[in-house]
Amino acid sequence: MMVVRTFSTMALILLLSACTTVPKWGRDGTSSSSVALSSASSAEQTMVHVISPLPGSTIASPLMVTGEARGGWYFEASFPVRLLDGNGAEIAFGTAQAQGDWMTADFVPFVATLSFPLPATTTGSLVLEKDNPSGLPENDDSITIPVNF
């Protein structure tokens, strides 16, 4: 009887905590929803902050990508970065490298450099992907930043 009551109490606590929403705050004290990156979700925004390039920036080759990501975004201190043209074709691929100890839940600075030919389109996308060595779709995540050429 005691085991059933304890299990019921734990289930109720888990259910209530899942239904409760707590605002997420950025490092600068602003709500994460006020620092949105393109179409990134709130969870993505709290995982990665891109310093450069900013959304809508005009970029050229070589492109240096800088920012910070939480340790869980990395695997073996890196994660993939792709540059797509306006048609979605990949024109560059690179790896963002952690600039510090990535085995943490904290933010870790990263840098990546991409060299690419000038595409036929005037717009494109920079895609930062969470490294997912498991290959499981539920562990996939990415941030897309619109750019101009």
One of 2.30.30.100, 2.70.150.10, 3.40.50.1360, 2.60.40.1220 is the CATH number of 35-148, namely: 2.60.40.1220
Q: Is the pLDDT of residue 44 over 70?
A: no
pLDDT digits (tens, 9 = 90+) for 112-132: 999 999 999 999 999 999 998
The pTM is what? 0.68
CB 123 within 8 A of CB 146: yes
Q: What span, in angstroms and rounded, lies between the C-alpha atoms of 51 and 107?
A: 13
Going by C-alpha positions, the residue among 128, 121, 111, 149 that lies closest to residue 37 is 128
Instruction: Report CA torsion sign: 61, 67, 71, 77.
Output: positive
- Give the residue-averaged pLDDT of 27-40: 34
On the CB side of 22, CA atoms within 13 Å amount to 4
Give the pLDDT confidence score for residue 135 in this predicted structure: 86
Confidence of residue 27 (pLDDT cuts 50, 70, 90): very low
